[in-house]
A and B are shown apart, each in its own frame.
Chain A
Amino acid sequence: MLDTKGYPNRLGLRGWVGGGRWGLERYLYTLHRLTGLGLLVYFLLHIIVTSARAFGAAAWDASMARVTGPVFVAGEYLVFAAFVFHAANGVRLALVELGWAIGRPIEPVYPYRTSVDEQRPLAVGVLIVAALLAVVGGLDFFVLH
Chain B
Amino acid sequence: MNAPARVTFRIRRFDPVRQSPPSWEDFEIPAVAGMTVLDGLRTIKETLAPTLAWRSSCRMGVCGSCGMFINGHPRLACNTQIAELGSGPVTVAPLPNFDTIRDLVPDLRPMFDKHAALSPYIIRDDHDEMYEPTGEYGQTPEELEEFLQFTYCIKCGCCMAACPTCATDPVYSGPMPLGQAHRYNADSRDGGFTTRKTALAGDQGPWRCHYAGECSRACPKGVDPARAIQLMKRQLVFDYLRLYSQPCPAGVVTPAPASARRPDVPEAPAPTVDVSRARTSPSC
A13 to B177 Cα, complex, angstroms: 22
A35 to B144 Cα, complex, angstroms: 41
Check A105 against B147 for contact (C-beta < 8 Å). yes
Q: How far is the CB of B61 from chain A (nearest CB, A)?
A: 10
Check B101 against A16 for contact (C-beta < 8 Å). no
Check B16 against A5 for contact (C-beta < 8 Å). yes
A interface footprint on B194-236 (CB within 8 Å = 1, 0 otherwise): 0000000000000000111111111101111011101101100
- The A79-109 residues at the B interface (CB cut-off 8 A) are 93, 96-99, 102-109
Partner among B100, B146, B230, B231 whose Cβ is within 8 Å of the Cβ of A6: B100
Check A102 against B227 for contact (C-beta < 8 Å). yes
- Tell me how many residues of B have a C-beta within 8 Å of chain A: 57
Partner among B14, B164, B167, B170 whose Cβ is within 8 Å of the Cβ of A7: B14
A93 to B205 Cα, complex, angstroms: 17
Q: Does B8 contact A (CB under 8 A)?
A: no
Contacts of B231 in A (CB 8 A): 99, 102, 105
Q: Which 7 A-B pairs have the closest CB atoms?
A: A15-B167, A108-B222, A6-B99, A20-B214, A20-B162, A99-B234, A112-B222
A29 to B210 Cα, complex, angstroms: 7
Contacts of A96 in B (CB 8 A): 211, 230
For the residues of B in contact with A, the DSSP-based class is mixed
Q: Does A66 contact B (CB under 8 A)?
A: no
A16 to B162 Cα, complex, angstroms: 9
Q: Does A53 contact B (CB under 8 A)?
A: no
Check A25 against B212 for contact (C-beta < 8 Å). yes
Contact residues on A (Cβ < 8 Å of other chain), bracket? 35 or more
Q: How far is the CB of A46 from chain B (nearest CB, A)?
A: 25
> Which of B35-43, B90-98, B250-258, B272-280 has 4 or more CB atoms under 8 Å from chain A?
B90-98
Check A10 against B227 for contact (C-beta < 8 Å). no
What is B's interface to A at a CB cutoff of 8 Å? 14, 16, 19, 21-22, 72-74, 94-102, 106-107, 145-150, 152, 161-164, 166-168, 170, 186, 210-219, 221-224, 226-228, 230-231, 233-234, 237
Partner among A18, A105, A109 whose Cβ is within 8 Å of the Cβ of B145: A105
Q: How far is the CB of A105 from chain B (nearest CB, A)?
A: 4
A2 to B149 Cα, complex, angstroms: 33
A116 to B162 Cα, complex, angstroms: 14
Q: In the complex where A20-B218, A114-B222, A114-B226 touch, is A29 in contact with B211 (Cβ < 8 A)?
A: yes
Nearest opposing residue in chain A for B235, CB measure = A99
Check B164 against A30 for contact (C-beta < 8 Å). yes
Check A105 against B218 for contact (C-beta < 8 Å). no
Contacts of B221 in A (CB 8 A): 108
Nearest opposing residue in chain B for A16, CB measure = B164
Q: How far is the CB of B140 from chain A (nearest CB, A)?
A: 15
Contacts of A107 in B (CB 8 A): 145, 148-149
Q: How far is the CB of B213 from chain A (nearest CB, A)?
A: 4
Check A102 against B73 for contact (C-beta < 8 Å). no
Nearest opposing residue in chain B for A26, CB measure = B212
Q: Does A68 contact B (CB under 8 A)?
A: no
Partner among A10, A11, A116 whose Cβ is within 8 Å of the Cβ of B216: A116
Check B217 against A9 for contact (C-beta < 8 Å). no
